[in-house]
Amino acid sequence: MEFGFSEDQTLLGETVRDFLQAECTPEAVRSLWDTETGRSDEFWTRFSEVGVPGLLVPEAFGGLGLDERDLILVLEETGRVGLAEPIVSIAAGVPLLVSLGQEGQTALAEQWLPAVATGEARLALGHDGSPFVADAHVADLIFMPHGDDLHALTKDAVQLTAQPANDQSQRLFSVEWTPQEATLVATGATGRRLQQEALDRGAMACAAQLLGVAQSLIDLGVDYASQRKQFGVAVGTFQAVKHRLANAKVKVEYARSVVYRAAHSVALNTSGRSVDVSMAKVAAGEAATFATKESLQVHGAIGYTYEQDLHIWMKRAWSLDLAFGSGAWHRARVADAVVDGSLPAETFGYTPVAS
């Protein structure tokens, strides 16, 4: 039993943090908002040089062959800077390709995994929880569900309609496509299982990003409240201000271990995986959306302006909270599991006496 990160894992997180803090500044985020795709191929290439998109790609395909326990701190860092590139490609798309390879789609895995590792290809993922697909416009391969079936579609097989969203960093699309034999990659129970796994992985990645977003919202609130003076003192000396930020901190810290455990459950594919992921999504989503309100309030009017950077993270909090199953959906999934026994919900450490 060891609930912590190794030196290598911590170092990887720190390396990516340094990289992102230099590359993904608020100015960089804003300048991408004004471009047509909202995405930077150049950034993605450099991100690949650091190794991030290939983290989960097996070594045989040119990746680092790591697992979610190595990835989770990296994902948290992407949230901290408000990065909005197709993270799902890394966290859910890659493992899906690996699984498909194991299920007989070897050519598909061989074709795409090395390209994802080098940053030449990006993946997008549709799922039953949302009518839209994020980042479909920059994806080279898009996975779409059709009942239990799963299809893998290249750009030429889809028609995209952009759906502008509140979060300018978020790029959503409606995808028109026709299921065909040639695009079918998994069916029946396998297709259902892979869809489920991909959804859990996408949700886990959102939860990790939400942790980072929540912490940034608190940090911005602390910075501002320490500088802004009213009544001759910094507003951060007022308890009403302090306690708002303290409450947000409690929520983030109690979401943290839940998110890290979800990474462990996904990496080892434990029987409680889906519920563990839902708990992480709920806890991190609530921490981040709560922090939006507290941080905005302690900023006062300036926080409500387009000019102030606060809304970069507020909008990330809202959009990530909805992505890969809304907080409400995940909460209901936990409630059904815990109360009705619809999914295995395992307590950590403590085992109740069977009734």
Partner 1 sequence: MDLSYTAKQNAFRMEARSWLEENAPGEPLRSFDTPEGFEDHREWEKKLHAGGFAMVPWPKEYGGRGADLLEWLIFEEEYYRVGAPGRVNQNGIFLLGPTIMEYGTPEQKARFLPPMASSEEVWAQGWSEPNAGSDMANIQTTALIDGDDYVINGQKTWASRGAYAHWLFGMFRTDPDSSRHNGLTFVLVPLDTPGVTVRPIEKINGKKAFAEVFLDDARVPRANRLGEEGAGWSVAMATAGFERGLMLRSPARFQNTAHRLVELYRETRDQGVFIDAGLKDTVARCWMDAEAYALNTYQTVSRLLSGGKIGAEASLNKIFWSELDITMHEAALSLLGARGELLSGAPAAGNVGEWLDGFIFALAGPIYAGTNEIQRNIIAERILGLPRK
Interface ranges with partner 1 (CB under 8 A): 1-6, 9, 69, 218, 222, 225-226, 233-234, 236-237, 239, 241-243, 245-247, 249-250, 253-258, 260-261, 263-264, 279, 282-283, 331-332, 334-335, 338-339, 345, 347-353, 355
Residue 341 beta carbon to partner 1: minimum distance, rounded to whole angstroms: 9
* 328 contacts: CB under 8 Å, gap ≥ 6: none
Residue 249, classed as helix, strand or coil, is helix
Cα separation, 40 vs 28, in Å, equals 10
Q: How far is CA 137 from CA 142, 172, 323, in A?
A: 10, 9, 17
Task: Name the residue nearer to partner 1 (CB basis): 74 or 258.
Answer: 258
Cα separation, 136 vs 240, in Å, equals 44
Residue 327 beta carbon to partner 1: minimum distance, rounded to whole angstroms: 11
Task: Name the residue nearer to partner 1 (CB basis): 177 or 238.
Answer: 238
Task: Name the residue nearer to partner 1 (CB basis): 174 or 230.
Answer: 230
Residue 328 beta carbon to partner 1: minimum distance, rounded to whole angstroms: 9
Tokens of 209: 């990003």
Q: What is the DSSP letter of 91?
A: I
Residue 265 beta carbon to partner 1: minimum distance, rounded to whole angstroms: 8
Residue 38 beta carbon to partner 1: minimum distance, rounded to whole angstroms: 33
Residue 186: what are its φ and ψ, rounded to 5°? -155, 145
Task: Name the residue nearer to partner 1 (CB basis): 254 or 304.
Answer: 254
Residue 163 beta carbon to partner 1: minimum distance, rounded to whole angstroms: 30
Q: Is the dihedral of CA 344, 345, 347, 352 positive or negative?
A: negative
Cα separation, 159 vs 22, in Å, equals 36
Structural Rg of the chain based on CA atoms: 20
Task: Name the residue nearer to partner 1 (CB basis): 4 or 164.
Answer: 4
Residue 242 beta carbon to partner 1: minimum distance, rounded to whole angstroms: 3
Task: Name the residue nearer to partner 1 (CB basis): 5 or 177.
Answer: 5
Cα separation, 1 vs 156, in Å, equals 49
Tokens of 196: 């489920």
